[in-house]
């Protein structure tokens, strides 16, 4: 009789990389880390959102640009919500004309189905009507 012990082998999980010094990095450095596969991508996006809320135009532009990156469009925080959506919602939540326009630009570049789902999530018919709370 054969031994099926091979079915019980558990592979170790890869080690969690150390968190980069997110608060001490420039917007460009944060954006570059976010473009790469990085275990801490979500924390970095939320740091950029925080900076955009504090009137950092470079952070706001980085969020708009990053929302187009396939990694952020495919990284799901939960269910349908992607990191690209988080970037757009973060820009909308600042309630500043400049950052809202960047959010509209980012939204326009989403796939039509993703646009439809984001509007459903935000409970509005058009992106200009979305007024999510600040993240």
pLDDT of residue 5: 55
pTM here is 0.86
Taking 80 as the threshold, does the pLDDT of residue 125 lie above it? yes
Taking 60 as the threshold, does the pLDDT of residue 4 lie above it? no
Structure tokens at 109: 């570049």
pLDDT range class, residue 6, cuts 50, 70, 90: low
Exposed, middle or buried, 35 (CB in 10 Å: 0-12/13-18/19+)? middle
pLDDT of residue 57: 97
Q: Mean pLDDT throughout 79-92?
A: 94
- For the chain, what percent of residues have pLDDT higher than 90? 73
Domain boundaries of the chain, sorted by first residue: 25-128
Report which secondary-structure segment, H or E, holds 81. Answer: strand 81-82
pLDDT of residue 63: 98
For the segment 54-71, what is each residue's pLDDT rounded down to a tens digit? Answer: 999 999 999 999 999 998
The mean pLDDT of the chain is 91
What is the torsion angle, in degrees rounded to the nearest 10, for the CA atoms of residue 32, residue 38, residue 43 and residue 45? 40
Place of tokens 């630009």: 105
* Alpha-carbon Rg for the chain in angstroms: 18
Q: Tell me how far apart the alpha carbons of residues 133 and 62 are, in angstroms, rounded to a whole number.
A: 20
Beta-carbon contacts of 53 under 8 Å, excluding residues fewer than 6 positions away, are 90, 93, 94, 134
Place of tokens 């990191």: 83
């Amino acid at each position: 009789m054969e031994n099926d012990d091979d079915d019980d082998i558990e592979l170790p999980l890869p080690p969690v990389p150390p968190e980069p010094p997110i608060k001490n990095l420039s917007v460009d450095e944060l954006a570059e880390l976010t473009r790469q596969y990085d275990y801490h991508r979500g924390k970095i996006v939320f740091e950029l959102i925080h900076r955009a809320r504090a009137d950092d135009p470079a952070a706001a532009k980085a969020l708009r640009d990053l929302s187009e990156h396939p990694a952020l469009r495919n990284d799901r925080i939960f269910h349908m919500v992607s990191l690209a959506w988080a970037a757009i919602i973060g820009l909308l939540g600042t309630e500043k004309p400049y950052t809202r326009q960047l959010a509209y630009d980012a939204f326009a570049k989403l796939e039509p189905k993703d646009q439809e789902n984001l509007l459903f999530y935000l409970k509005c018919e058009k992106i200009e009507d979305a007024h999510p709370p600040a993240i």
